[in-house]
Amino acid sequence: MKLVKFFKYSLPIGIAGIVINIILFVTNAYYELVVPVIENSGIEGGLFTFLDYLIYLTPCIFMVLFIAYIVIGQIYMKKVHLQVEDKANQDLVHKNREIQKVLDEKAEFLKHNYYTNCPNCGSARAENEKVCSFCGASLIIEENKK
C-alpha cells in the first residue's frame, strides 16, 4: 500500500517535473549553475568532457524518469482500482446470495398452509412457526390430507 501513496499523484507530479526540467534544459539554468563547480574543482580531460555532457543532459534524464514515473504510476493505479472494484463486486455477489437465501426460505415458508393449533398437543401456533414449540410436531397442513 506504500506504492499507492508513491504513485497516487504521479500524473500531476510527473507533468510538473517534466515542465521544470524542460525549463532547466531550454534556459540552460541547471548547466550554468553546476558547470562552474566542476570547472573550479580542477577536473580536466576526458572526465571533464563526460561530466560536462552529463550535466548538460541531466534535465533530459530527469524528463525520461518523470515520464516513466507517470506511465508506471498510471498502470499501477489502474491495477489497484481494478482490484478494489473486483473486491466490491465479490462483496455484492455475496450479499445477493444471502438475500436470495432469505427470499428462498420465505418462499418455501409461504408455500404451505399451517394449522392454527398443533394437531398433536393443541397448543396455539406462534407466528412463523413451522413446528410446534411444545411438542415438535409439524404444523404444516399436508396438501393430500386436506
Q: Which stretch binds Zn ion (CB under 5 A): 38-46, 73-81, 103-111, 121-129?
A: 121-129
The residues in 59-118 that bind Zn ion, with binding defined as CB under 5 A, are 118
**Shorter beta-carbon distance to Zn ion: residue 15 or 135:** 135
The answer to whether 73 touches 14, Cβ cutoff 8 Å, is yes
Q: Work out whether 134 is an interface residue with Zn ion (CB under 5 A).
A: yes
Q: Which residue has the cell 532547466?
A: 24
> What's the min distance (Å) between Cβ of 119 and Zn ion?
8
Of these, 92, 121, 131, 141, which contacts Zn ion (CB under 5 A)?
121
Residue among 29, 75, 73, 78 at smallest CA distance from 55: 29
What is the helix (H) or strand (E) element at residue 114, kind and residue range? strand 113-114
Instruction: Pick the stretch among 25-33, 39-47, 60-68, 126-134 that binds Zn ion (CB under 5 A).
Output: 126-134
Query: Of 7-15, 19-27, 103-111, 130-138, which segment contacts Zn ion by CB under 5 A?
Result: 130-138
Q: How many CB atoms lie within 10 A of CB 39?
A: 13
Q: Give the SS3 label for residue 50.
A: helix
Among 31, 48, 51, 120, binds Zn ion (CB under 5 A): 120
- Main-chain phi, psi angles of 140, to 5 degrees: -80, 130
User: Could you give the CA distance from residue 144 to residue 39 in angstroms, rounded to a whole number?
Assistant: 107
- Binding positions for Zn ion, rule: CB under 5 A: 118, 120-121, 132, 134-135, 137
